[in-house]
């Protein structure tokens, strides 16, 4: 396995459309992001030269989708020209909207990855202001030839497995599936699960139609124990990637805050996007645009979790559900969201997906909102009690199946089922925000994206694959 995997990587870099020496090096800027709900500070950790050459699309160096809360730019120090940019979101950006951010300061480790410039440059991080316009938040000058930059080794290259191999990473979307909480004896189970999740992703439109635009890699550093931490049940594991449940005290929210650890592991493979598969069966996952997504690989709902959370990470899609509890606090003022699949409908005539709305479809669009809310809120109360009682996961799965069946029957009887409009209830809010269709993978545990989400996904695929 080790020899085969290294040969695959060498062929990709040396023979698939360009020589490895033609590609710039991959540079990573690691930094600390600190503050509270009122103040924010950035500070340099270190600059890293990763072992593998840059595999991103050099034909589209500037981000045109702008789906994140933040934006970084690589700026030539002499000319002021921007050579690279990408928008992104972060754990800090979510945490600062929680109640805890009003009480204490916290620090999160973050990274920016980009093709190594030839001359001294500046890294500029911008953040959306109260009107969602980007404003500069931090700027730092970097000499790419500084001998103090850390040279990273591809320590796990021999464990990387090609799940889907469609060619030169520079012309493909490279998805890396990282396994966390898998022992050496469970490695084959991880690879089987990675193949299963990749098949599920490509069985979902529009990913299926664009499968040839993807490479999928899998890597799971061996863990000493099976599983990952779940603090609310006093379950603790020192897993290699550090994924755990209960992020922001939300029992189902799975993240890792050990950015340095997973970046060092991931740098052994080509990647544009990362999904972490946890060796657990308890329902849970998470997704942050441009950072990573997570899914409990052994959950009955892993297919939904994998694709839903990847929608957040890959395309910057917002949650369309609003009856489930979340750690975030709602906005003080309703403004138009920057995410592509939700709207405040402040100007119906200029609705961001107006071109998909059929003639005669009312805005807002009627749907059985009251019946859905009554059912969902009752289910959430039951769910909370079941988690407090730590019932077997099989009982929780039964509740989820019941909810899915109820929603499907309710929506099937609606006049505007399958129609693009503006359905109130989205963005974790019951009022003031609207989603494009009555149902979608970003709203319930269904298996399809609405037309607006699908179009948003394709736009990202194009940015990573087209000239």
State the DSSP string of 408-432. Answer: HHHHHTSTTTT--S-EEEETTEEEE
- The whole-angstrom separation of Cα 420 and Cα 452 is 8
**CA dihedral of 87, 161, 247, 343, whole degrees rounded to 10:** 40
CA Rg, the chain, in Å?
A: 22
Three-class DSSP category at 350: helix
Domains of the chain: 21-151 (2.60.40.3250), 157-319+461-465 (3.40.390.10), 348-459 (no CATH)
Q: What is the pLDDT of residue 326?
A: 77
Q: Judge contact between 34 and 54, C-beta under 8 A.
A: no
Cα dihedral 301, 302, 305, 308, rounded to 10, equals -110
Is residue 332 within 8 Å of residue 455, measured between CB atoms?
no
Cβ contact 77:119 at 8 Å: yes
Label residue 95 by pLDDT band (50, 70, 90). very high
User: Beta-strand (E) ranges in 116-188?
Assistant: 121-128, 134-142, 150-151, 161-164, 173-180
Q: pLDDT tens-digit profile of 191-229?
A: 999 999 999 999 999 999 999 999 999 999 999 999 999
Q: What are φ and ψ of residue 73, in 5° steps?
A: -130, 140
Q: Are 434 and 353 in contact (CB under 8 A)?
A: no
Q: List pLDDT tens digits, range 9-60.
A: 444 443 334 444 589 999 999 999 999 999 999 999 999 999 999 999 999 9
Rounded Cα distance between 177 and 277, Å, is 7
Q: Which residue has the higher pLDDT, 21 or 236?
A: 236
Percent share of the chain, pLDDT over 70: 95
Beta bridge partner(s), residue 430: none
Beta pairing, strands 121-128 & 106-115: unpaired
The helix (H) or strand (E) run that includes residue 371 is: helix 369-388
Average pLDDT over residues 81-88: 98
Taking a C-beta distance cutoff of 8 angstroms, is the pair 396, 283 a contact? yes
Instruction: Give alpha helix (H) positions in 284-339.
Output: 302-315
Is 146's pLDDT higher than 80? yes
Q: Per residue in 104-136, pLDDT tens?
A: 999 999 999 999 999 999 999 999 999 999 999
């Amino acid at each position: 396995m080790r020899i085969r995997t290294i040969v695959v990587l060498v062929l990709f870099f040396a023979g698939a459309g360009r020589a490895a020496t033609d590609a710039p090096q991959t540079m990573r800027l690691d930094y600390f992001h600190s503050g509270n709900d009122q103040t924010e500070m950035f500070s340099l950790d270190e600059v890293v030269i990763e072992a593998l050459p840059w595999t991103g699309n050099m034909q589209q160096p500037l981000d045109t989708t702008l789906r994140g809360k933040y934006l970084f730019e690589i700026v030539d120090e002499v000319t002021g020209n921007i050579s690279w940019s990408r928008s992104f979101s972060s754990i800090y950006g979510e945490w600062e909207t929680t109640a805890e951010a009003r009480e204490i300061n916290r620090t999160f480790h973050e990274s920016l990855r980009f093709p190594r410039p030839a001359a001294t440059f500046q890294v500029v991080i911008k953040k959306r202001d109260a009107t969602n316009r980007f404003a500069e938040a931090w700027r730092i000058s970097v000499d790419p030839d500084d001998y103090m930059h850390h040279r990273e080794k591809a320590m796990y290259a021999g464990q990387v497995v090609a799940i889907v191999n469609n060619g030169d990473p520079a012309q493909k979307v490279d998805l890396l599936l990282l396994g966390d909480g898998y022992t050496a004896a469970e490695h084959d189970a991880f690879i089987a699960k990675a193949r299963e999740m990749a098949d599920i992703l490509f069985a979902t439109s529009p990913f299926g139609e664009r499968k040839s635009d993807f490479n999928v890699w899998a890597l799971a550093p061996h863990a000493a124990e099976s599983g990952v931490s779940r603090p609310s049940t006093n379950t603790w594991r020192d897993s290699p990637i550090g994924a755990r449940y209960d992020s922001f005290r939300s029992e189902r929210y799975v993240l890792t805050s050990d950015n340095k650890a997973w970046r060092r592991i991931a740098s052994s493979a080509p990647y544009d996007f990362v999904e972490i598969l946890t060796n657990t069966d308890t329902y849970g996952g998470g997704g942050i645009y441009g950072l990573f997504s997570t899914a409990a690989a052994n959950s009955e709902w892993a297919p939904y979790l994998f694709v839903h959370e990847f929608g957040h990470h890959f395309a910057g899609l917002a949650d369309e559900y609003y009856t489930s509890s979340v750690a975030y606090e709602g906005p003080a003022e309703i403004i138009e969201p920057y995410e592509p699949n939700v709207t405040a409908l402040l100007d119906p005539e200029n609705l961001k997906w107006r071109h998909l709305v059929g003639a005669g479809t009312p805005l807002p669009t009627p749907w059985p909102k009251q019946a859905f809310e009554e059912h969902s809120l009752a289910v959430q109360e039951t769910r909370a009690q079941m988690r407090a009682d730590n019932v077997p996961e099989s009982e929780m799965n039964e509740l989820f199946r019941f909810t899915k069946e109820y929603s499907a029957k309710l929506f099937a009887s609606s006049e505007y089922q399958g129609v693009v409009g503006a359905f109130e209830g989205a963005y974790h809010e019951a009022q003031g925000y609207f989603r494009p269709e009555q149902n979608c993978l970003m709203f319930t545990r269904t298996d399809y994206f609405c037309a607006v989400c699908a179009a948003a996904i394709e736009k990202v695929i194009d940015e990573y694959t087209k000239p």
